[in-house]
Copies of this chain bind each other. A is one copy, B any other.
């Protein structure tokens, strides 16, 4: 699989997520047809479907009914719209939770989550994987042959959901055994487990991790759990690859630290590693609007997602249309936001979502149209953007950047600074919070933005050759610095590069053990 691009490479993607499944009866039999017409009138090229709808088309084990999926694909085809198919695994159906309660995640308090929310499962649970594979195979086999299906989205905003299930902890112990060649003395020394008698003297006495006070052990557990996310996406990718055409892309809705909007790097996923599971990096990017709109979150989200596949165009799979959370754009802002995405290197913009749901959790996280489906000002402005990009498609498609500045980010630094907080030195969760890793990252990133300096984002384990492309490297709060990273940074500077860093950099090794040299 070599081409990351859509089957319609000569046009930009523009569209929204669409859920025929959620349309209420009161909207009328012809709602689907009327929606398609409005979308075409707005210049849409693409819809995204099926994500989160597991319970609808797989209502019982081995029972599949793709009525809603087919209706949407058929209607899209009839109106010349492309379709992205999302695998549904980010929300388990009621029957799976009822028959296999062990698929629910065990939370940080040591108790199993209850059914209800999405994204609360153990992504390694065999029953979840077993029935998830059945569902993915059935859906992809059913939809891949359709001409207007241009790509597949794996799961949704996958993370490890802070799950502490016994099987995950056991797998972590296995991983540690391998990492330390079975040498418990080495493990105890690396993580400083002699402290407060936490020393582990036998593998079978490895304690549950929910109340650990050892930041090194906890950081290793989070590192391991981030690898589970990558593994999970690679597992889905392999299944999808058995069915998809070469011209169909594979993507994921990568998302970022959430503060009511996308703020900084995602602690629970190593996006640079997870991006290996996709052919096209996708992003869910939300940001303040109205008076709070600055463009910084749009730029940051674009810079990191563009960097995931080494500069290739990325796709905005979700961004805000309107909504109660201060998100009803002022006149002109919706277009401004959309052009900002393109300027960051996006090959398309898709809203979450088309209509607004009439029940349940996200009723006021509105779509492009409200519950009354009327052509409101937000829709009309989207339509104006749709018309403009259709006119200028040739000049807007395939934009690329070659920046000379990069900001180095690190999930490991993020985790470590949760345990050894900037403000107190104690875990942020118990010491009242204060600034986290992303606050420092954004301090640096925002300074670049305000100076109008464009930047890429690179991971702390980027190879020396990748760093060498840049003139300037900024490494905010790089608390954890493995020997290889130090070597790469030395090489970068020796080669004439400029390295700018901040407090709390190069404090500890990859085991979050503080260095003994003079600081």
Footprint of B on A, CB under 8 Å?
Answer: 19, 21-22, 24-28, 52-56, 59-60, 88, 91-95, 97-99, 110-111, 113-118, 120, 189, 191-202, 204-216, 323-325, 356-365, 370-374, 420, 424-426, 508, 511-519
A55–B511 CA distance with the chains assembled, in angstroms:
21
> Which residues does chain B contribute within 8 Å of A52, judged by CB atoms?
195-197
Given the complex, which residues of B lie within 8 Å of A512, measured CB to CB? Answer: 359
- Interface pair B213/A360, CB less than 8 Å apart: yes
Q: A94-B200, A114-B207, A116-B207 are in contact. Are A214 and B516 (CB under 8 A)?
A: no
- Chain B residues in 8 Å Cβ range of A191: 359-360
Take A114-B211, A519-B372 as given contacts and tell me if A192 and B94 are in contact as well, using a CB distance cutoff of 8 Å: no
Pull 17 A–B residue pairs with CB atoms less than 8 Å apart, ordered by A: A19-B195, A55-B194, A56-B199, A91-B198, A93-B199, A95-B202, A117-B213, A118-B197, A191-B360, A192-B358, A192-B360, A195-B361, A324-B425, A325-B424, A356-B514, A363-B420, A371-B516
Residues of B within 8 A of A359 (CB): 191-193, 195, 214-216, 511-514
Cα–Cα, bound, A97→B211 (Å): 13
Known: A24-B189, A359-B216. A199 touches B94 (CB 8 A): yes
Q: Which listed residue (B200, B210, B516) contacts A114, Cβ 8 A?
A: B210
Tell whether A22 pairs with B361 under 8 Å between CB atoms, given A114-B208, A201-B59, A519-B371: no
Q: Top 5 closest A-B pairs, CB basis?
A: A364-B425, A192-B359, A115-B207, A55-B197, A55-B199
Which residues of B lie under 8 Å from residue A214 when comparing CB positions? 116, 359-361
**Is the beta-carbon distance between B364 and A197 smaller than 8 angstroms?**
no
Interface residue SS majority, chain A: loop
- A420 surroundings in chain B (CB, below 8 A): 363-364
By a CB distance below 8 angstroms, the chain B residues around A356 are 514
A94 touches B363 (CB 8 A): no
Among the listed B115, B198, B360, which residue makes an inter-chain contact with A55, where contact means beta carbons less than 8 Å apart? B198
Question: Given B110, B116, B209, B323, which contacts A212 in the complex, CB threshold below 8 Å?
Answer: B116
Enumerate chain B residues within 8 angstroms of A323, measured Cβ to Cβ: 425
Contact check, B24 vs A192: say whether CB atoms are below 8 A apart: yes
A91: chain B residues within 8 A (beta carbon):
196-198
Tell me which residues across on chain B come within 8 A of A21, comparing CB atoms.
Answer: 194-195
Alpha-carbon gap, A370 to B204, bound state (A): 35
Closest approach, in angstroms, between the C-beta of A518 and any C-beta of chain B? 5
Residues of B near A360 (CB, < 8 A) are 191-193, 195-196, 198, 213-216
A91-B196, A95-B202, A193-B359 given; 6 more Cβ-contact pairs under 8 Å = A21-B195, A27-B516, A94-B199, A116-B210, A215-B361, A363-B420
A95 neighbours in B (Cβ, 8 Å): 201-202, 205
Contact (Cβ within 8 A) B213 A513: no
Find the B residue at minimum CB distance from A323.
B425
A62 → chain B closest CB, angstroms: 13
Q: How far is the CA of A88 from the CA of B199 in the complex (A)?
A: 13
Chain B hits for A199, CB < 8 A: 55-56, 59, 93-94
A110-B114, A325-B425 in contact; A371/B515 too (CB < 8 A)?
A: yes
Most chain B CB inside 10 Å of its own CB: which residue of A95, A116, A193, A216: A116
- Closest CB in chain B relative to A37 CB, distance in Å: 17
Residues of B within 8 Å of A517, CB to CB, are 372
- Residue of A196, A198, A361 with most partner-chain B CB within 10 A: A196
Smallest CB–CB gap between A95 and chain B, Å?
Answer: 5
Bound form: Cα–Cα A59–B98 in Å: 42
CB neighbours (8 Å) of A201 from chain B are 55, 59-60, 93-95
Q: Which residues of B contact A55 (CB under 8 A)?
A: 193-194, 197-199, 201
The complex places the Cα of A393 from the Cα of B436 at a distance, in Å, of 48
Query: Which of A192, A197, A370, A425 has most B Cβ within 10 Å?
Result: A197
Residues of B within 8 A of A362 (CB): 195
